[in-house]
Amino acid sequence: MKRLALFANQGATSSRLVGVLLLTLLTLAITFVLPPVADSQLASGAAISIVVLGLSWLIGWSGQISLGNSGFMAVGAYATGIWAHHHASSPIIFTFVLAMAVGAFSGLIIAIPSTRLRGPYLAGMTLAFSAAIAPLAQNYTSITGGEGGLFFNTLTTPHWFLNLFSGQNATIDANAQWTADLAVVVAGVTFFFMANLFHSHTGRAMRLVRDNDVAAELVGVNLPRTRTLAFVVAAAFAGLGGSLYALINATVTPSTFPLTLSITLLTLMVLGGIGTLSGAVIGGIIYAFSSNLVGHINSLTGINPTSNLGANMQGIIFGILLILTMLFTPRGIAGLGPRFGRLVANRRRVAPLATGE
Amino acid sequence: MSGGPSSEATAELVDVTVRFGGLLALDRISFDVQANEIVGLIGPNGAGKTTAFNVICGFQKPDSGTVRFPALGRTALKPSQLCAAGVARTLQGVGLFVNMSVLENVMAGAQGHVGRGFASSLFGLPAGRRHELALRDHAMVQLERLGIAQFASSLPGSIPYGISKKVSLARALMGNPSLLMLDEPASGLDESELDELAQLIVELRESMSVLLVEHNMDFVMPLVHRLVVLNFGEVIATGAPSTIRTNPDVLAAYLGVDP
Ligand SMILES: Nc1ncnc2c1ncn2[C@@H]1O[C@H](COP(=O)(O)OP(=O)(O)O)[C@@H](O)[C@H]1O
Ligand SMILES: [Mg+2]
């Protein structure tokens, strides 16, 4: 029979925990093999994957669009920087919880008027929010450090971890890897929570609203509340991702989270696959290592990286990848797996979904 | 009858008026649905039937008049409160969730009933999961009852129209409603499906009230206890099908003699 549609609400929490745990451990193992530069890239990729996952939840599950996630990232990052100045020695978990809370709160502020808006109006509203962040940061110099931003060195590698390394570049290696490992663990935890949300009562409420809001209301879904909750969760994820991103780079400035980053996040989400955990992982990986790809292409083609064309190569590559994805695998790279599976299945059975049978 | 206070009525409209600009869509209409009663709401196109449904469901605020649910102990409900209060409605057409399996569509019918909160969802607590499994079993029972269990994992776009209508009915029944509101349930069904549907509605009456909007007179006449006839936003007749059939006002409205 047709079993394509039967994927949601299956699997126990424990099986999701094991799945995420295995992936996290695998990635941690990989960080031991990678050189320090790649570890740093991986760390940024992990931070971005958290934001992409939140965006994927918002767009793929609740059916709302946001061009404001770079703004939520900035809010989380500034909260992190400001907190670091006053409580440099508090456990890092407090920083993360604070960044999520501040992100969630800004999401709430944006969501309350936004839940009355649809499509392009909603996109415009969130766009205005992320555009407003940089001028605000430049203006309130005493809190944000103005144009120069904030610097903080909160991520200190513990001694026991340092001791794992020896040799010439021990400190460099250890610091890069500690950062990557921390980012991977934080990402793992958020992915576990999102996996739970996907398969929950709350997750279904989102999909109901997305598919048919009138029918959703009739089965008891409170539309404004549900849409607001979707925003708050996405903004909390972005706040956390922004915090992690700022910690990795030990700084946040008005230009750390430009508007174009919101577009990049959208692109990564579509490339990876909307509404899936694996899509967010893939998006994070693409982000982490896109500069390597850009370098390769520039050297292959002999384009000068500092030329106009070379400097914009990342955008060009993302654009091309985006077009290819939309043409050939609208469910993103993560959708290739199931598609391949279906292809194999179709050879054994005749077209299960093709007609109105 | 209509208008008077009745503690038995599942739903009751009293002097409800709805205007759309200059158009009087409902003009001081009153009717009720008693417990375990099947009431048919009929009338020509544009008479105000869907508007009356929307008023009951809280989608349309009346300009004057009231909606009450005496048997449920409630007055005016918001759409999202209906499910928990015991009112279920199917939408004209099909109105399914297109990207979700048939089984999930039916599970959604009880969405408004549960008290599992966000924290339970986020942490994947066992109680939430047990609840999901129970919901799944209950939805499966509904599908089996309507004889469409084999479509559980299909997407709505891939099943025949008649099956889709059954799915939306199964979804409405998931919430164990006291009042079931059906907007044109018979449209698009073939003879045997119509018989099945009529049979089912008669069975349902044992445990709930049914209010249905319908164009198909052959379907509605033998089925209902009472008809409410709307024309140009007014109730022009109320009564048993046998008396309505011979009512001159109704005949005029349907034959278009008296505009
Ligand atoms: N939202 C609306 N705005 C303006 N006019 C409406 C609206 N909804 C319905 N109407 C008008 O109100 C009248 C009653 O419509 P409706 O309740 O849909 O009739 P029925 O369901 O009996 O065919 C019609 O003349 C219709 O054009
Ligand atoms: Mg109608």
Question: Tens of pLDDT along A258-276?
Answer: 988 999 999 999 999 999 9
Instruction: Check whether A355 has a pLDDT greater than 60.
Output: no
Distance B253 CA to ligand 2 centre (A): 17
The pTM score is: 0.89
**Torsion angles phi and psi, residue B238, rounded to 5:** -140, 140
The pLDDT of residue A6: 36
Q: Which ligand is nearest to the CA of B54?
A: 1
Distance B53 CA to ligand 2 centre (A): 9
Calpha distance B59→B80 (Å, rounded): 10
**Torsion angles phi and psi, residue A41, rounded to 5:** -65, -40
Q: Say if CB B65 and CB B125 are below 8 A apart.
A: no
**Torsion angles phi and psi, residue A292, rounded to 5:** -65, -45
Q: Say if CB A123 and CB A71 are below 8 A apart.
A: no
Q: Choose between A299 and A286: higher pLDDT.
A: A286
- Number of domains forming the structure of chain A: 1
The pLDDT of residue B115: 60
In the chain, the amino acid numbered A15 is S
Cα B39 to Cα A194, B35, B181: the distances in Å are: 46, 10, 10
The pLDDT of residue A232: 96
The pLDDT of residue A293: 86
Calpha distance B9→B72 (Å, rounded): 9
Instruction: Check whether A126 has a pLDDT greater than 70.
Output: yes
Residue A353's pLDDT band (boundaries 50, 70, 90)? Answer: very low
| Closest ligand 1 atom, residue B49 Cα | 22
Q: Say if CB A329 and CB A339 are below 8 A apart.
A: yes
First to last CA, chain A: 12
The pLDDT of residue B14: 96
In the chain, the amino acid numbered B108 is A
Calpha distance A249→B223 (Å, rounded): 72
Q: Say if CB A155 and CB A248 are below 8 A apart.
A: yes
Q: Which ligand is nearest to the CA of B25?
A: 1
Q: Is the shortest distance between the CB of B43 and ligand 1 below 6 Å?
A: yes
The pLDDT of residue A337: 79
- Domain carrying residue A328: 2-355
DSSP for A174-231 reads: HHHHHHHHHHHHHHHHHHHHHHHHHTSHHHHHHHHHHH-HHHHHHTT--HHHHHHHHH
Question: Tens of pLDDT along A133-173?
Answer: 999 989 888 888 888 889 988 788 888 888 888 777 777 88
Q: Say if CB A94 and CB A87 are below 8 A apart.
A: yes
Instruction: Check whether A327 has a pLDDT greater than 50.
Output: yes
Which residues in chain B land under pLDDT 70?
1-7, 114-116, 255-259
Residue A345's pLDDT band (boundaries 50, 70, 90)? Answer: low
Instruction: Check whether A196 has a pLDDT greater than 80.
Output: yes
ipTM computed for the complex: 0.89
Average pLDDT, chain A: 87
Parallel/antiparallel/unpaired status of strands B226-231 and B38-42: parallel
Instruction: Calculate helix-pair angle for A36-56, A170-198, nearest 10 degrees.
Output: 20
Question: Tens of pLDDT along B184-222?
Answer: 898 889 999 999 999 999 999 889 999 999 888 889 999
> What percentage of chain A exceeds 90 in pLDDT?
54
Instruction: Check whether A46 has a pLDDT greater than 50.
Output: yes
Question: Tens of pLDDT along A328-343?
Answer: 888 888 888 777 777 6
**Nearest Cβ partner for A1 among B112, B150, B160:** B150
The pLDDT of residue B212: 94
**Torsion angles phi and psi, residue A112, rounded to 5:** -60, -50
Residue A67 gets which letter from DSSP?
S
**CATH code where residue A233 lies:** 1.10.3470
A212 contact B CB<8A = yes
